[in-house]
Structure 1
Amino acid sequence: MTHLRFPTARRLPRRLFIAASLGLALAACQPTEPAHAPIDGVDITGADIGGPFTLVDKTGKTVRWQDFRGKWVMLYFGYTFCPDACPVDVQVMMKAYDQFAKSNPAAAAKIQPVFISIDPARDTPAVVGEWTAAFSPRLMGLTGSEKQTNLAADAFAVIHSKGEATPGGGYLMNHSRFVYLMDPKGKPVDMLPVDKGADAVAGDLAKLVS
């Protein structure tokens, strides 16, 4: 299974962001002076990431991207049958959230962690709900039809495709591994550093979420 995790330059249009995430050589735009302390993740302020989607939660209730307005969102795209990367990334993501919540409960209450499936054929609302509950009751799991999940992934510059077959008739999914931090206006702020561990992610949250 291929998992892609690459940083991006600031203020890149979505098509260039996708190219960068595939590892193609791109010239970086000139960054502006950040309005916060240095972060361990990748500052993606101004990147063309994010857009409307309509999905469902574990109960089948419709959830739209605009429903998160006024909240910070930690957003990860993956799939529940993932044997390695997704569980590791989500575990770091939620461990970091819990660390941040212990020291900054009021600020943490403004954050909604979200997991969106890129494998809707197997990830029913019930399956996604059970999987996310294993990590934290705070983690919202979303899924939908193939068209709906593809639209959501495309809006957030997430690359994904069906991968190799596995014994027993299953299959893997290839996908990029980004944990985005989106601000209360739905704008991208940080590609959180889950590869550096929970302490680094919690540190970025402390610098950015108020």
Structure 2
Amino acid sequence: MSGSKLYRWLAGACLALALLAAGWFFVLQPRIEAKLAGQLGYGDYTLQTTSGGTFTRESLRGGPTAVFFGFTHCPEVCPTTLGDISQWQEALAAEGRDPLDVYFVTVDPERDTLDLMDDYTSWAPGVQGVSGPRGEIDKAITAFRVFATRRPLEDGGYTMDHSAFVLLFDRDGRFTQPISYQEDTDRALAKLRALTGS
């Protein structure tokens, strides 16, 4: 193959790869992500809440709703997030907006009874603790596509590594966007205002 033919072949191959990459990043990937996001929270899990109700897929409807996965023995992420949620609720109330229905789902049901969850969450406005059998918790973890795993400690105990974002759902139970751990307050409130109707 001559040098000019090889050059044209390489140029054509590079163009084809560029078109494939553009198709993936600008067409296929957004569609796949939108489809997956639209299914977030779907599943056949049935858990109990500290208010005496049940937490299922249907609990996300009628919101706006926020869902956070954590555990009561969490040293930093969970209490900090509950504090943030409390501030968000106060800010929404001061603006005359509807409060969020917030579900704090344990990833450690072996230790987190409903009574313990109630003690842990009751100070934060609008937050209900959620617990239940390990099998149902695992179904919820899968349905919401969060990460949670047990990590042994040197003293023989254990802690839980888990996702640290708050998932937001609209009134129809559709996932809209996450709020990251310790996200800037103004940015978080902007997301909540959009969710509750600006």
Residue ranges of structure 2 left out of the alignment (5+ in a row) = 1-23
How far, CA to CA, are the matches of 1:166 and 1:96 in structure 2? Answer: 37
Equivalent position to 1:67, from 52, 59, 65? 59
Matched, 1:49 2:40: yes
What is the aligned-residue identity percentage? 27
User: TM-score scaled to structure 2, two decimals?
Assistant: 0.76
Q: CA RMSD, aligned part only? A: 2.2
- The range that moved more, 170-179 or 65-74, is 65-74
Which SS does the other structure have where 1:71 is aligned? coil
For residues 75 and 68 of structure 2, the distance between their equivalents in structure 1, rounded to whole angstroms, comes to 16
Letter in 2 for 1:93: I
Change over 3 Å in CA distance of 1:65–1:194 after alignment to 2: same
Q: Which has the higher contact order (CA 8 A, sep 6+)?
A: 1
- The alpha-carbon deviation at position 199 of structure 1 amounts to 2.9
Long gaps (5+) in structure 1: 1-26, 33-43
Counterpart residue number, 2:167:
180
Moved over 6 A (4+): none
Q: Deviations over 1:100-153 (max 9, x none)?
A: 221133x33xx301100000000000001110013x141111000000111001
Q: How many residues align?
A: 168
Amino acid of the structure 1 residue aligned with 2:58: Q
Greater fraction of residues in helix: 2
Q: Which amino acid aligns with 2:173?
A: G
In 1, Cα distance between equivalents of 2:90 and 2:138: 30
Structure 1 residues 204 and 147, CA gap change in structure 2 (3 angstroms): same
Is contact 2:49-2:55 (8 Å) kept?
yes
Shift of residue 190, structure 1, vs aligned partner:
1.0
For residue 101 of structure 1, give the secondary structure of its aligned residue in structure 2: helix
Provide the rounded CA distance (Å) in 1 between the counterparts of 2:143 and 2:61.
16
CA contact (8 A) 1:59 1:125 kept: no
Structure having the higher Rg:
2
